Amino acid sequence: MITKEIAAAGTSIWLDDLSRAKLTGSDSLSLPSRIKNSGVVGVTTNPSIFNAAITGSADYAADIARLKSHSPEEIVKKLTTDDVRKACDLFSEIYSQSSGVDGRVSIEVDPRLAHDTATTIAEGKDLWQIVNRPNLMIKVPATLAGLPAITELIASGISVNVTLIFSCQRYEQVIDAFIAGIEEALQRGNDASRIHSVASFFISRIDTAVDQQLKIINTTQSLKLLGQAAIANAVLAYELFLKKSNSARWTKFSAAGAHMQRPLWASTGVKDPAYDDTRYVMQLIAPHTVNTMPQSTLDAVLDHGKFYGNTVTPAIEKSHLLLAALTKTGISLNSITDQLEIDGVASFAKAWQSLLDDVDKVRSA
C-alpha cells in the first residue's frame, strides 16, 4: 500500500478531520477504519473542522440541550475536548509504539486569542488539563503574540502544534521559540523526551494567492511559474529545518533526549482542479515530516498517488531558483504570506464565532 511507502520514507500521515460520527462510525470513513486500513497515525483539528462537525450534524444536539445552562463557550469546549479525548484514546497504541512521535491529536486554542499571549498560554494549559492525555497537542497560531506562548507551553512540558505558518521567516522564529521552550523546560526539570512539537506549514493557499498574481501579470515567464510557489516554499522550509536540526545549539538538547520539532505540511487539499490532487503529498515526502490531509486528499493518494521517494531534498536548489524567478517577475512572496497569516487568523476566528452563535441558538431553543 502506498501509505506504507510514504511512512517508510519518513512522512507520517495524519488526518485533518474529526467529528463524532467518525469517532463512533464503523464504515470505511470512520477513524478506527482509517487507522487500521489507511495508514493514519494522527489527527489534526481546527475551528473550521469543529464548526462543520457540530453545526452540520444532529449528533451533538442532545449534549447541547443537556448543557443549556452553560455558556456557548463552555458548551463548545466540552464538546470539542470530549471528541479529542476519545480520538487520543483511539491512537494510544500508535502513540506507545512510536514512542510518542505519532498517535497525536491536536486541538486549537480559541483563535480569537491569536494576538493575546497571556490568554493563549492560559487557554493552552487549560485544554491540556481538561483533555488529560499525553498524546494531545495544543495548537497555537504562529502570530508574533503566539511565539512567546509557544515557548512557555513547551517549557511547561506541553506538546505543541504551531499552526498558520506561511513564510520561512516566520518558520525560523517558530523553531527558535520551540528551542527556547526546550531549553527552559530542561532548566525547570521537565523531561524533554516527553515533549513533542510540529510546525504546521500551510501549502495550497500560497499557490492560490501567487497564481492569482501571476495570471494578472500574464507574461510568458509568469505563466511558466504557475503552481510552483507553494511546494518550493515548503522545500526551503525543510532546508531550514535541516539547518536548525544540525546546529550546535540543538545538538546539545538532542543529547539530553529532546525531540526536534517536525515540519508538518498543512492545507494539502488542492484548490485548483487543473492540478494533480495528490501533488501536495507526493511532492513533499521527506524524513521527519508529517502531512495532515483532508479526507478527499487521503482518498486520492490511496487511489492513484505515485510514490517517488524523497521528493524534497533533491528539490532544494531548484526551489531557490524558482523563488528568485518569482521575485524577478514582480511577486513579493513576503507580502503574500503576511496577508495569508492575517486572513488565516480571521477565517478561523470567524468559524469559531459562527460555531458559538449556532450553539447558542440550539441552546436557547
The whole-number pLDDT of residue 26 equals 81
Q: Which three cell numbers stand for residue 51?
A: 464548526
pLDDT classification of 190: cutoffs 50, 70, 90 = very high
The whole-number pLDDT of residue 106 equals 98
Q: Is the pLDDT of residue 164 over 90?
A: yes
User: Is residue 270 within 8 Å of residue 290, measured between CB atoms?
Assistant: no
The whole-number pLDDT of residue 1 equals 86
pLDDT one-digit tens code per residue, 94-110 = 999 999 999 999 999 99
When the pLDDT of each residue in the chain is averaged and rounded to a whole number, the result is 96
Distances (CA, A) of 168 to 144, 219, 228, 232: 14, 27, 16, 11
pLDDT classification of 25: cutoffs 50, 70, 90 = confident
The whole-number pLDDT of residue 147 equals 98
Which among 139, 215, 306, 350 is annotated as catalytic?
139
The whole-number pLDDT of residue 364 equals 85
The whole-number pLDDT of residue 57 equals 84
Helices 229-245, 204-217: inter-axial angle, 10-degree rounding: 130
Q: Which string of DSSP letters, residue by residue, matches 217-255?
A: H--HHHHHTTT-HHHHHHHHHHHHHHHHHTSHHHHHHHH
pLDDT one-digit tens code per residue, 337-347 = 999 999 999 99
pLDDT one-digit tens code per residue, 125-162 = 999 999 999 999 999 999 999 999 999 999 999 999 99
The whole-number pLDDT of residue 337 equals 97
| CA dihedral angle for residue 164, residue 277, residue 291, residue 177, rounded to 10 degrees | -20
Length of the chain: 365
Structural domains present in the chain: 2-356 (3.20.20.70)
The whole-number pLDDT of residue 78 equals 96
pLDDT one-digit tens code per residue, 297-319 = 999 999 999 999 999 999 999 99
**Residue 36 bears catalytic tag:** no
The whole-number pLDDT of residue 18 equals 96
The whole-number pLDDT of residue 56 equals 86
Amino acid at 329: T
CA distance 216 to 162: 33
% of the chain with per-residue pLDDT over 90? 95
The whole-number pLDDT of residue 253 equals 96
pLDDT one-digit tens code per residue, 208-227 = 999 999 999 999 999 999 99
Q: Is the pLDDT of residue 90 over 90?
A: yes
pLDDT classification of 269: cutoffs 50, 70, 90 = very high
CB atoms near residue 88 (< 10 Å):
22
